[in-house]
Amino acid sequence: MSQRIIIDTDPGVDDAIALWLALASPELEVLGVTVVAGNVALKDTVRNACKIVALSGKTSTPIYAGAPGPLVRDQVYGKYAHIGAFSNELVPDSELQPQAEHAVDFLVRTLRKAAQDNDPITICAIGPMTNLALALGMHPDVARGIRQIVTMSCAFTALGHRVPWAEFNVYADPHAAEKVFTSGVPLVVMPLDMTFQALIGADDIDAIRQDGGKPGESIAALLSAFDRSDLTRFGREGGPVHDATTIAYLLQSGLFSGQKARVGVAVSGNTAGYTYADFYNKLPTPPNALVMQKVDEYGFFSLLRRVLSRYGAHHGEQQA
């Protein structure tokens, strides 16, 4: 029985890898891809999502455009926002278009049905959480349709990566993160503290390029074009692929280990987007999240190579 998931995303590079990983996995049924502004403006994140899904061959997967900006704060984009959508050289162009329905309406409709059927859905939140916050804020009953939210967000000991004090997905819309963190829905958090432990190097990129069909070629091109190596910070070669950890967790949770904690976020002031985790029960509030603290780096990249190689195998079958 496959897990039913919705991926809420703002495609950049990591998001693309997460989407291709999920779409290559028969263990996961991707009910829809809901898109939010974040790494780049909404028109570009939607364009990227369409190109990514099209290249996977799973073109029946519906894509929904969502929130164009954060709930309250001024808009902030990712490091490479000036580039806009992926070039056709990095990810081939596609005729695929998003659905007419708004992402938030799709979330509310689908999650309500899941609640009625007593068959809740897992949400992978790998962008700013604006779409989820709007759905949960306007219609709190939809929380019953969510099994868990597996989110790539937060930074506790690792400090930030877009600003020194915050992880980007939370920094881009801290009020949305607060709404999600306090919704009562079980959270699994993939913070920078953990994602910085798994750095993809040249050998893995080459293997994915060779074995991963068209998506593998695009992944290698994207990782080369947007190099996230940082020898000073990481102390070794390679760069993180943050968002893919959410899908890897659903496929092979044993690759990760963590601890329950109360996770919260600062929504205003100079350090808006700063997140804390109460690992030692200093607060009167109970844990709301399982925070991942360690990842099996070798196992994680073995999983990525193995799953993404299905694109190469399918390509070979089509050619035969």
Catalytic residues: 242
Write the DSSP assignment of 116-181 as a string of letters: HTT--EEEEE-S-SHHHHHHHHH-GGGGGGEEEEEEE---SSS--SSBTTB-HHHHH-HHHHHHHH
CA pair distance 312, 293, nearest whole angstrom: 32
What lies within 8 Å, CB to CB, of 200 at 6+ separation is 223, 238, 239, 240, 241, 301, 304
CA pair distance 25, 20, nearest whole angstrom: 9
CA-wise closest residue to 145 among 113, 177, 101: 113
Amino acid, res. 204: D
CA-wise closest residue to 304 among 15, 24, 4: 24
Q: Which 3 state secondary structure label does DSSP give 88?
A: coil
